[in-house]
């Protein structure tokens, strides 16, 4: 058997990810015949078929799925090897893949990434959004190097660095019965219809628990697909919503359309953290990043969030 190359394993992982030789070739910036030849050579060496081929694309075979996890781990280890080599060479460089949640990333990263680039000019960060539970599983599988998310569950596979505590603020239309109140208490919200996003997001579950504690009712017939959608439904008087403070600071500039308030006697917060695999070769650098992120937040966003 000839030597199996890292390139062949990378091609194998890419084809499995995109479900198509053509799409994988485009992403990898190689020709499709080159990709096909390399996978054919890999299958010949392994004496196994890795893909079922059809006109609609490819499907990973049963034995291919067994080998795919190992191929991904090898890719992770190789990236870690390069990261360590770059660190030893005096550069915090390379490309790291970071997952973020859609209800946090767009409103926090614009503050973090410019400082990050100034500190580490050779570092590149590839960012992709996903639900917290999906991000956590993808991180464990090696699809991400680190994630910025609502606090992940405790896991021996992950190292978690708490970053910030973000308040949830009450938002209502300007003609709502409570809009002119000087103070809003938890008793005022009993029976109110509360809007939230779809049930697959951790934010949904947090709002559900909050509604139960307040005696409010969560509207399940009008669940939004994003925080922007929620805000528009609030403007139309379809209900009230609890929106994250960073979103409010970033997106709600016209206070003539909505009233933003805090609820006296109610502690409403989301806890966000940076997390990575506990065995990641870049874990020392990631701990440094977490501390730098806290410094940036304290400098730029202390009016809106608290350092964890």
Q: Kindly list the averaged pLDDT for each block of 10 residues, start to end, along the chain of length 308.
A: 83 91 89 91 91 84 91 83 61 79 93 92 88 86 89 79 94 92 92 81 79 86 80 91 93 82 88 91 89 95 93
d(CA 242, CA 130): 21
E strands, the chain, are 51-54, 57-60, 94-100, 123-129, 146-150, 158-173, 184-185, 193-195, 217-218, 240-244, 258-261, 263-264, 269-277, 306-307
User: pLDDT at position 123, please?
Assistant: 85
- pTM higher than 0.75 for the full model? no
Q: Strand, helix or coil at 271?
A: strand
| Domains, the chain, ordered by start | 6-71 (1.10.10.10), 92-164+271-307 (3.40.190.10), 166-269 (3.40.190.10)
Are 195 and 234 a contacting pair, CB within 8 Å? yes
Task: Write out the two tokens for 282.
Answer: 């870049």
User: pLDDT at position 73, please?
Assistant: 86
Angle among Cα 166, 169, 175 to the nearest 5 degrees reads 165
Residue pointed to by tokens 């139960």 = 212
User: pLDDT at position 90, please?
Assistant: 45
Q: Residue 302 carries which DSSP code?
A: T
Buried b (16+ CB within 10 A) or exposed e, 17-52: ebebbeebbeebeeeeeebeebbeebbeebeeebbe
User: pLDDT at position 98, please?
Assistant: 95
User: pLDDT at position 91, please?
Assistant: 45
């Amino acid at each position: 058997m000839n030597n199996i190359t890292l390139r062949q394993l990378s091609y194998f992982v890419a084809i499995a990810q995109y479900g198509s030789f053509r799409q994988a070739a485009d992403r990898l910036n190689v020709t499709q015949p080159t990709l096909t030849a390399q996978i054919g050579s890999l299958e010949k060496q392994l004496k196994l078929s890795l893909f079922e081929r059809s006109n609609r694309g490819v499907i990973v075979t049963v034995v291919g799925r067994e080998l795919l996890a190992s191929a991904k781990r090898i890719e992770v280890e190789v990236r870690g090897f390069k990261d360590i080599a770059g660190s030893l060479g005096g550069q915090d460089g390379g490309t790291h893949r970071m997952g973020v949640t859609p209800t946090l990333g767009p409103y926090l990263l614009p503050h973090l990434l410019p400082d990050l680039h100034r500190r580490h000019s050779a570092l590149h960060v590839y960012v992709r959004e996903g639900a917290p539970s999906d991000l956590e599983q993808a991180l464990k599988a090696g699809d991400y190097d680190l994630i910025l998310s609502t606090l992940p569950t405790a896991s021996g596979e992950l190292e978690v660095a708490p970053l910030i505590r973000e308040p949830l603020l009450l938002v209502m239309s300007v003609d709502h019965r409570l809009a002119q109140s000087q103070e809003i208490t938890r008793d005022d919200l009993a029976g109110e219809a509360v809007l939230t996003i779809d049930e697959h997001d951790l934010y949904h579950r947090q709002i559900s628990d909050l509604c139960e504690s307040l005696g409010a009712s969560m509207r399940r017939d009008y669940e939004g697909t994003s925080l922007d959608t929620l805000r528009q439904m609030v403007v139309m008087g379809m209900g009230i919503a609890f929106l994250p403070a960073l979103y409010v600071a970033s997106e709600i500039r016209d206070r003539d359309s909505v009233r933003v308030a805090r609820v006296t006697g109610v502690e409403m917060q989301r806890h966000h953290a940076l997390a990575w695999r506990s065995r990641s070769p870049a874990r020392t650098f990631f701990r440094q990043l977490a501390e730098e992120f806290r410094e940036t937040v304290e400098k730029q966003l202390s009016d809106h969030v608290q350092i964890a």
